[in-house]
């Protein structure tokens, strides 16, 4: 019997079982005076929520300092490492408790570096969630300046009373701009 080859398939998703860790969504403790919420929903190309994605963020602290502290997977309650990882819930929602990142360099726009793992993806996706608070910094940002005007808004979070909302659209209308890191 001669069988025709079939197309490859992605494995998983197993993100909810293997990658989350206790405290992954809590970059700062509940009593931290500058604690904010970064949250949103991950949508697929049809506009449906993705209930089994995994989101990672990396960020500087509120003053713009990038942490060099080890131990991101074991939270000690006081060391800010700038790393968080959380899975989406049944309705595609994720949330982090963190601080608003500061600008890493004078005049630059503060942002969260975001990584998305989801079913159907052969590799992770990278994007940024810029804070909307400084129009001047957003206008001067080199990466934002390289993005077409009609797509730039997909990289800018929406301010809310307790933090920021950043929805991620994997495809389709309003698709989030994703970054190419040269295979890294």
Phi, psi torsion values for 67, nearest 5 degrees:
-70, 140
Is the model's pLDDT at 117 over the cut of 70?
yes
CATH numbers and ranges of domains, the chain = 26-164 (2.60.130.10)
Is the model's pLDDT at 12 over the cut of 60?
no
Average pLDDT, the chain: 88
What is the pLDDT, as a whole number, of residue 11? 52
User: Token digits for 156?
Assistant: 């800018």
What is the pLDDT, as a whole number, of residue 76? 79
> What mean pLDDT is predicted for residues 90-96?
97
User: Token digits for 102?
Assistant: 């500061």
Pairing of strands 54-58, 111-117: antiparallel
**11 in the Ramachandran plot: left (φ > 0), alpha (ψ -120 to 50) or beta?**
beta
């Amino acid at each position: 019997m001669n069988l025709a080859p079939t197309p490859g398939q992605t494995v998983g998703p197993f993100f909810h079982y293997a990658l989350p860790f206790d405290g992954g969504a809590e970059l700062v403790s509940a009593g931290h005076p500058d604690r904010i919420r970064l949250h949103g929903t991950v949508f697929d190309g049809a506009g449906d929520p993705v209930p089994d994605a995994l989101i990672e963020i990396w960020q500087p602290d509120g003053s713009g300092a990038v942490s060099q502290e080890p131990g991101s997977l074991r939270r000690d309650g006081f060391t800010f490492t700038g790393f968080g990882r959380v899975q989406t819930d049944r309705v595609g929602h994720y949330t982090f408790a963190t601080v608003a990142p500061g600008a890493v360099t004078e005049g630059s726009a503060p942002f969260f570096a975001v990584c998305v793992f989801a079913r159907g993806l052969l590799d992770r996706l990278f994007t940024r969630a810029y804070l909307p608070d400084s129009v001047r910094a957003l206008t001067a940002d080199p990466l934002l300046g390289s993005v077409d005007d009609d797509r730039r808004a997909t990289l800018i979070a929406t301010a809310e009373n307790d933090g920021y909302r950043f929805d991620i659209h994997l495809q389709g209308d309003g698709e989030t701009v994703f970054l190419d890191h040269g295979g890294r």
